[in-house]
Structure 1
Amino acid sequence: MYVIVGLGNPGRKYENTRHNVGFHTIDLLAERNQIKVNKLKHKALYGEGVIAGEKVLLVKPQTYMNLSGQSLLDIVNYYKVDLNRIIVIYDDIDIKVGSIRIREKGSAGTHNGMRSIIYLLQKDEFPRIRIGIGKPEIMELSDFVTSNFSKEEIPLIKEAIETAALAVESVIDRDLSFAMNKFNG
């Protein structure tokens, strides 16, 4: 089984913010693969289904970004899933808007959601897909990641979310190396 985790903040207030691109990718994967993400357990909204012949769990932690690890740790312990079968999707300020990067492991960088996950799992060796949201020029980082995209950025971010969903499907259908070669450009 694969566990696909999209990071974000719950609630209408954060719905279309930069921090929620992980949630939007989960929503797109759910739509494309007819999976209902409507169960509440493990401090997350989740849904079970199949992508490319593999059983998957699509997960949107409901703990707020900085505590995302609580939800994922609960899921890992409950389902006894190997870390290499987890894919975490999240926003990254160090990547330009509209680009994605796939990695098999790595540090959290400045991302508090990833810090929480790595701290609680005690490992950073799991695949992740980072979606570029750009860098703030004058705004505080916390204000920037909880701000909405500009009109000019919306088509770019929609395309990046579509690409991230395709990348997840490629990891499941083929493997991580194939997806990295195809989507890391």
Structure 2
Amino acid sequence: MTPDAPWLIAGLGNPGPWFRRTRHNAGFLTVDRLAERHGARFRRRGLGTLLAELEVDGHRVLLAKPQWFINLSGRPVARVLRRYGVPVERLVVVQDDLDFGFGSGRLKRGGGPGGHNGVRSVGDALGTRDFVRLRFGIGRPPKGQSIGDFVLKRFTEDEEAALPAELDRCADALETLVRLGLNRAQDALNARTES
């Protein structure tokens, strides 16, 4: 891996205004927050994705929001990776996760998709799962509600009120990852999640 290779942080979500504030779009919301911090704007680049570019302490970072539905995110992510020469070690996929309570965040490298079809699609398209994942907790559906319905629902009023702080926490972790590496970012994010 060349030391000046860019990072790619790909938020997973569904395109279109109807899905914008739904739980399944936690990945989009996280990369939106990171872009806002740096004054970066998303633009179409003909790769099936919206892209923004920024720098974190001299490190080039691409932010991607695939514009295919979330379960088909892999091909657009793979196209960006190839076009910009991003090594898989510098790919971060930001996803919603049912296994953690709302706002809990976890960073890890590799592992199975845990039932998330967007993550599965990325792994299948790349032929590897050796990328970093930021898992943004959205909690479990209430009794009687299907997972499919739950992930496509908007956040509750209380969750919306807490969402900016949670997105900032995840954006902090992503910046730490780029600057200082995975272990330092995991320590910071996981410690704050558990406190």
TM bin (shorter chain): over 0.9
SS at match of 1:45: strand
Shift of residue 180, structure 1, vs aligned partner: 0.6
Letter in 1 for 2:46: K
SS at match of 1:152: helix
1:57-68 equivalent positions in 2, closer than 5 A:
57-68=62-73
Which residue of structure 1 lines up, in the alignment, with residue 137 of structure 2? 132
Q: 1:34 aligns with which of 27, 36, 39?
A: 39
2:172 matches 1:166: yes
Q: 1:80 aligns with which of 81, 85, 92?
A: 85
Shift of residue 49, structure 1, vs aligned partner: 2.1
Task: Report the TM-score when normalising by structure 2.
Answer: 0.91
Letter in 2 for 1:38: R
Which residue of structure 2 lines up, in the alignment, with residue 22 of structure 1? 27
CA distance in 2, matches of 1:4, 1:125: 14
Letter in 1 for 2:102: V
Q: Which runs of 5+ in 2 are unaligned?
A: 1-5
Q: How many residues align?
A: 185
SS at match of 1:41: coil
Which residue of structure 1 lines up, in the alignment, with residue 12 of structure 2? 7
CA distance in 1, matches of 2:180, 2:157: 35
CA distance in 1, matches of 2:163, 2:128: 29
* 1:97-139 residue CA offsets vs partner (Å, 9 max, x unmatched): 0110010221101111001011111111111100000111221
Which residue of structure 2 lines up, in the alignment, with residue 70 of structure 1? 75
CA distance in 1, matches of 2:58, 2:39: 13
CA distance in 2, matches of 1:51, 1:64: 29
Letter in 2 for 1:177: N
Which residue of structure 1 lines up, in the alignment, with residue 148 of structure 2? 142
Task: Report the TM-score when normalising by structure 1.
Answer: 0.96
Letter in 2 for 1:34: G
Q: Which runs of 5+ in 1 are unaligned?
A: none
**Amino-acid identity (%):** 37
Letter in 1 for 2:117: N
* 1:66-124 residue CA offsets vs partner (Å, 9 max, x unmatched): 10001111112222211111111110000100110010221101111001011111111
CA distance in 2, matches of 1:157, 1:99: 11
After superposition, the CA RMSD in angstroms is 1.1
Shift of residue 21, structure 1, vs aligned partner: 1.0
